Structure 1
């Protein structure tokens, strides 16, 4: 599952003497196992319970996956740089409560203004994480674990016992999670657009490829002139922007937001990215894979509920998937490194 990332910032192995056929290229896609597992899961569940693929059932799966898809896309960017952000659930909670506050404090405020304000709020919180990680030189796991509790504490102090409900927001804002286009809820379409934009940025721009180079070998990336500190800060800010967007859309999707909104969500997000093929040690993976991982985990929950499997087993299966993804990724990394050593010895 892991490819070797060189300081040029590419997420591909060294070119070989021959070109891969289209079928071979598809077979080597990191996202393919996740996609196949998703299709198999849907088919098996549908055979057991045909109502699983009823229009409302499909809509519910997409709606439940939307928020995690956006968060997983942002998390993938951070993990690719060999970091992690455990505070995304708390950022979402702060932005969600802030969104409800805006609608109450400024009646008639345009929805686009609220969305932009939420993204800006998320960017500020993401920048705090990024600055602490890059300037203090402390592992992101430690920093974001701390900011997880700090941001959650701020939300508790701000919200207290206050909650904002569906009646506190404009009807058209709530309709983002109700109206559909070709069967896709509007907020799901927003998530798809976000994933496509981020995927194009990561694979089609120098800055995006730099993030892969940093995750593969930060020291080598510096030698080759990659501005590591600036790029890592950018990754955290972008993740904050997407968490802010997710917080706004969360307010549209659910009936209430309060002090506990987003609690525990960060674990689902990291799990989605890892299961989707984003290497936990950085340097490889894609936001598309992370999005598929989010959809797979959400579908697993819906599928097991549809066949009446106990919730404990739902959590156990997700845990097994995470362990399997990490083990397979490490095995693939070792095999790739071994092939490179053999190839280099032959060249010598």
Structure 2
């Protein structure tokens, strides 16, 4: 009997890894099937395009993972992205000699301010995350239209140095992909090997116990929403550089895609659980679907339906896995 319980314990511990391996296996099988339908899918050129198109999503998914782990949600990131992208685009069009690094810094600071406002509403005013972020989403979207006067900033108004941010390379790697890799490495270290990173998970797992243990929950919440805003601001600049266009409705609804990437990657929507590796795989899967479905001539309407079914399946699997983990924890306590 003891041996059976030990086996169950071991299985419960390995469940998160099994989930990620299962997602990786699904991505491999899906890629093979798509390659059979269209031999151009796994070409170097298409893979490069896929990675570049997925980079922005994956950067945002890192921040959203931290927010969801603390039992929160941020619906304002699409509007934050649009606002930071618009202000940066207007700045570089007025001052074309500005260095691209300054443009990236400007967008990041704007996003950081936006994220900190949402964080203050949640951590200090005790407003529910979904309400606070939904309200600020409309505020930021309105500000985007106000600063632009309702007009666009087109490619011919932007200097070449700014548009080259998305097309240039660093050490032979596209700049978008390179930035995404750096961000993943930094946050992997942050959540895995720092005290603050562990406190983020503690807040999401059991807020009452975290408070009793001396963790300042309000500071943790303010920090994660500020980080989310900073990443949204950074991606706003990358987005505008990539598409060479800044519009008032940029990234409308994109926050749902980011949340979907996190859920697909195994981030528990109830908080307390999530891994960087899972978020990478979730973002990659969505990127593959967006890239591959048009290549195999799937109708745009069916594309949305297929993505919705896959997300729903991921949520169901996540619930089942969570129940098994809780059962494993219960068995360990009984021992």
Q: TM-score range by the shorter chain?
A: over 0.9
| Inter-partner Cα distance in structure 2 for 1:311 and 1:183 | 34
Q: 1:332 to 1:234 in 2, by over 3 A?
A: same
Say if 2:250 is the partner of 1:261.
yes
| Cα deviation, residue 67, structure 1 | 1.0
| Cα deviation, residue 27, structure 1 | 7.9
Asked if the contact 2:163/2:244 (under 8 Å) is kept, the reply is: no
Asked if the contact 1:59/1:183 (under 8 Å) is kept, the reply is: no
Q: Give the alignment of 1:156-167 within 5 angstroms.
A: 156-167=145-156
Aligned pair partner of 1:110 in 96, 99, 102:
99
| Cα deviation, residue 161, structure 1 | 3.1
Deviation string 1:148-203 (CA, Å, 9 cap, x unpaired) is 11111111222233211222223233223223468742211111111111111011
Which runs of 5 or more structure 2 residues have no equivalent in the other structure? Answer: 1-5
Q: Which residue of 2 aligns with 1:206?
A: 195
Q: Which has the higher helix share?
A: 2
| Inter-partner Cα distance in structure 2 for 1:176 and 1:255 | 10
Q: Which residue of 1 aligns with 2:3?
A: none
| Inter-partner Cα distance in structure 2 for 1:44 and 1:243 | 34
| Cα deviation, residue 55, structure 1 | 2.8
Asked if the contact 1:277/1:286 (under 8 Å) is kept, the reply is: yes
Asked if the contact 1:41/1:300 (under 8 Å) is kept, the reply is: no
Say if 2:63 is the partner of 1:69.
no
Say if 2:175 is the partner of 1:186.
yes
Matched position secondary structure for 1:225: coil
| Cα deviation, residue 338, structure 1 | 1.8
Say if 2:333 is the partner of 1:344.
yes
Aligned length: 329
Q: Which residue of 2 aligns with 1:3?
A: none
| Cα deviation, residue 280, structure 1 | 0.5
Asked if the contact 1:79/1:282 (under 8 Å) is kept, the reply is: yes
| Cα deviation, residue 111, structure 1 | 1.1
Q: Which residue of 2 aligns with 1:119?
A: 108
Q: Give the alignment of 1:233-312 within 5 angstroms.
A: 233-312=222-301
Asked if the contact 2:100/2:165 (under 8 Å) is kept, the reply is: no
| Cα deviation, residue 131, structure 1 | 0.3
Matched position secondary structure for 1:256: coil
Asked if the contact 1:80/1:285 (under 8 Å) is kept, the reply is: yes
Q: 1:255 to 1:113 in 2, by over 3 A?
A: closer
| Cα deviation, residue 29, structure 1 | 4.9
Aligned pair partner of 1:231 in 215, 220, 223:
220
Say if 2:282 is the partner of 1:314.
no
Worse-matched range after superposition: 121-130 or 305-314: 305-314
Deviation string 1:297-328 (CA, Å, 9 cap, x unpaired) is 12112111111011112111221122222221
Asked if the contact 2:93/2:159 (under 8 Å) is kept, the reply is: no
| Inter-partner Cα distance in structure 2 for 1:295 and 1:51 | 18
RMSD, aligned CA: 2.2
Worse-matched range after superposition: 42-51 or 155-164: 155-164
| Cα deviation, residue 20, structure 1 | 7.2
Deviation string 1:34-85 (CA, Å, 9 cap, x unpaired) is 2222222222111110111223322221121111111111111100111010
